Structure 1
């Protein structure tokens, strides 16, 4: 009898010790960040304060995040992919790199801004624009570009910058826009001509705005909200215009990586970034995307899709065909 009581007491003590260790375990979360770092930091700080979960992050361009997740397939080094155009997320899902999760807060996100099987959920949207240096345009006697054909004028030769679609989600959204607007073969003929005008293909989608703002380039193709950010930061020679034939747009997304080492923490983070008040944090640190949560208030400076000539952009098709289109771009445009 005494032996039985002793064993029960010992087991109880062991269970209490295990529970105590579990309760005292320091909760952590590692994420890959594909949006502006200042925006990510604001969200991460609020999440840490609310949950007590310590967050570590690595900031990369969208294509770089995809390549890293692919390389880490057997042993993921992160649990969440936070930000960047959904086409790359769709490519990742196609390769089995993401984990489905239906957040309770996804009900506030309209159907067109989320994956039906829960592999990614939109957190913001933003349009592709032409971003020009006003002083350079005036010096060359040019009006603001309002057509894709305008960028092929002789004065633009060597003065255009756009992000590399292999590494930049912005760059691939531009490529996907042209293919869906013009048809694939016509789009690649156009891109070959545009290549003769381009002076650089930065790996990051936002860098072209800095080049234009500082006068290193006359015009860029990039997201309109990034251009607004640079203007607000002091690059007042920046001017934003849109192609009259039509433009595309991104759905910036969040997803859980398959095999996430911190799964429960990852789910909490996805829940967090879909909330109205969290999606409104971006504008507090100078970011001007449109939130996807239908109850969130967009920045006053944001360009709304309904005010633009936006094409019926098929994000699913663009994501599923990403690898093929990138190979064609390298072969036919870069001639490699």
Structure 2
């Protein structure tokens, strides 16, 4: 019996020392600060720029990066409002120019001290806000498959052609950033009242208004629609990633809208200095190259895009003005759109 008790004592002592050793070994890693980055799904996901930026940052920051995901910028902003502080959001990635006023009205943000940024001329108007800085941008239009339509649309009015009935994939502007971009494009191209009358006619042409860009684009790639509202760089994605050259971004008579994607640091950040370092990484040449090649968007910093397949795609006719609409104005436009969607507008 004594031998048995001695045996158990040795066993338990060995287990205790093993656990103690494991705890000591793990302690340095567990004590590392965790920088939490709120971002939309295509940024934080496996194929987006998020994982590559995380790996690059963790090599030098003596920290860990954790992503908290929202499916699109509109949903991301809602999640930030509800649980951002409790989850410890340090960086918010993916708000566009239509989200900024609402973001400022709902949260407090740290001013960014990034110095003089050598950006493209098209990006300079987007630098006016001291709380947010753009990290990429892109022009939006409709994407089609080559040789699938007898006549490719060349204007907004062409989208009303009978052969396109229920063949157009759009995004819901209440939840999707590209969806709001399309609403803005129509209103600025046609004027508000005429634009909403046009949208009323367009309702019967739309296959569906998806809550996110990725859902609508999935309908298009699965050949459930003939057109999808997307980015001029979308065909390049298919060419590079899938070796397919049968997609085309359509040039329109109307100047194309431009979307800027911004990054900001909430005032309630827990690791604010690390958050600013992460923002600086996103704006570095290496970070910008990752974002360009993974997000398939134009970089904001000069010297990154030159002599790449992205450069020729900038030669599209775009709106010159970068307008930051107030949250009240955005809500008003969305209410009018909702009335049309419900069929309440006469």
Please report the TM-score for the alignment, with normalisation by the length of structure 1: 0.82
* Residue in structure 1 matching 2:252, options 240, 243, 259: 243
Contact kept, 8 Å, 1:188 with 1:333, in 2: the verdict is no
CA drift at 1:199: 0.8
Matches within 5 A, 1:101-120: 101-104=112-115, 107-109=117-119, 112=124, 114-120=126-132
Matched, 1:270 2:275: no
Provide the C-alpha distance between the structure 2 equivalents of 1:205 and 1:164, rounded to a whole number of angstroms: 9
Instruction: Note closer, same or farther for the CA distance 1:181–1:319 as it changes in structure 2 (3 Å cut).
Output: farther
CA drift at 1:273: 0.7
Provide the C-alpha distance between the structure 1 equivalents of 2:208 and 2:129, rounded to a whole number of angstroms: 38
> Unaligned stretches of 5+ in structure 1?
1-20
The two structures, once aligned, show a CA RMSD in angstroms of 2.7
Matched, 1:259 2:268: yes
Which has the greater radius of gyration? 2
Matched, 1:79 2:87: no
Provide the C-alpha distance between the structure 1 equivalents of 2:59 and 2:317, rounded to a whole number of angstroms: 41
Offset from partner CA, 1:29-84 (integer Å, 9 cap, x none): 11111353321111121111221220110232100111112223664641211124
Residue 51 of structure 2: aligned partner: 41
Matches within 5 A, 1:100-139: 100-104=111-115, 107-109=117-119, 112=124, 114-137=126-149
Matched, 1:32 2:38: yes
Residue 102 of structure 2: aligned partner: 91
SS of aligned partner of 2:99? helix
* Residue in structure 2 matching 1:168, options 176, 189, 207: 176
Matches within 5 A, 1:1-336: 25-34=31-40, 35-36=42-43, 37=45, 38-60=48-70, 61-72=72-83, 75=86, 77-104=88-115, 107-109=117-119, 112=124, 114-137=126-149, 142-234=150-242, 236-285=245-294, 287-297=295-305, 300-302=308-310, 307-317=315-325, 321-335=329-343
Provide the C-alpha distance between the structure 2 equivalents of 1:156 and 1:303, rounded to a whole number of angstroms: 31
Contact kept, 8 Å, 1:289 with 1:298, in 2: the verdict is no
> Unaligned stretches of 5+ in structure 2?
1-26
Instruction: Note closer, same or farther for the CA distance 1:214–1:228 as it changes in structure 2 (3 Å cut).
Output: farther
More displaced stretch, 145-154 vs 45-54: 45-54
Offset from partner CA, 1:176-210 (integer Å, 9 cap, x none): 12222221112111111111111112222233333
CA drift at 1:89: 2.7
CA drift at 1:25: 4.1
SS of aligned partner of 2:210? coil
Instruction: Note closer, same or farther for the CA distance 1:33–1:299 as it changes in structure 2 (3 Å cut).
Output: farther
